[in-house]
Chains A and B, each alone.
Chain A
């Protein structure tokens, strides 16, 4: 199985900041990488697929990049509603494994 490792596991930031999360795959997955946002007590929501394609309706302050084994999710000008947990997932091969998540907290 492909292992997905996210770093950091948690991050504190302030409204207006720029933050970057990392997701690393244990083998190359081309750009078969999705990002999800999850708020407490809620199901996750898709933000980005194919590493860098924003789902319609997702604010442009979110962006994704990467290919192969290393991927990043960047949020610029953090808004209060962005404080949540972010999960990456590879869709390259079954099982479509997730990372352990990065929790973004308010500083």
Chain B
């Protein structure tokens, strides 16, 4: 059974840092692109960052570039999101998701339960 379990969320002051982790199990982690998606309270979904299977490529939404870093440890089946210089608008539930490929198309097929990040003074 595929499982994605996030941890590391919490309350942090503006300008602070947090490191989110995602423990993956039930599939060959190193074979998949992985993504962080966030959802601000009462808002829609926002793609934040993704990382290639071997970690050789990462992409970020403009609003988090140079502040967030996505990384992975395939030996430990883990995905990370280092978040620095946090702002009020980064407050959201952060989901670790698997980016699957089938029939020539990509989609998110598994989601973690999410971890809440609250940026507030």
Residues of A within 8 A of B (CB): 1, 31-32, 34, 36, 43-46, 49-50, 53, 55, 87, 89, 91, 94-101
Q: Are B47 and A50 in contact (CB under 8 A)?
A: no
- Distance, CA A101 to CA B45, complexed state (A): 8
- Residue A49 contacts which of B47, B59, B62, B105 (CB distance < 8 angstroms)? B105
Given known A98-B46, A99-B44, A101-B44, contact A91–B107 (CB-CB < 8 A): yes
B108 partner residues in chain A, CB cutoff 8 A: 34, 36, 44, 46, 89
Minimum CB distance partner of B106 in chain A: A91
Residues of B within 8 A of A (CB): 35, 37, 43-47, 50, 59-62, 95, 102-109, 111-114
Main secondary structure of the interface of B (DSSP, over half): strand
Additional pairs, 9, CB under 8 Å, beyond known A31-B105, A34-B105, A49-B102 = A1-B62, A32-B105, A43-B95, A55-B109, A87-B45, A94-B50, A95-B59, A98-B46, A99-B44
B59 partner residues in chain A, CB cutoff 8 A: 94-95
Q: Considering the complex of A and B, which 9 residue pairs feature the smallest CB-CB distances, nearest first?
A: A43-B111, A100-B44, A49-B107, A98-B45, A91-B106, A50-B105, A101-B44, A34-B107, A94-B59
Nearest-CB distance from B16 to chain A (Å)? 25
Q: Are B103 and A53 in contact (CB under 8 A)?
A: yes
A49 partner residues in chain B, CB cutoff 8 A: 102, 105, 107
A46 partner residues in chain B, CB cutoff 8 A: 107-109
A45 partner residues in chain B, CB cutoff 8 A: 111
Q: Are A43 and B113 in contact (CB under 8 A)?
A: yes
Nearest-CB distance from A17 to chain B (Å)? 24
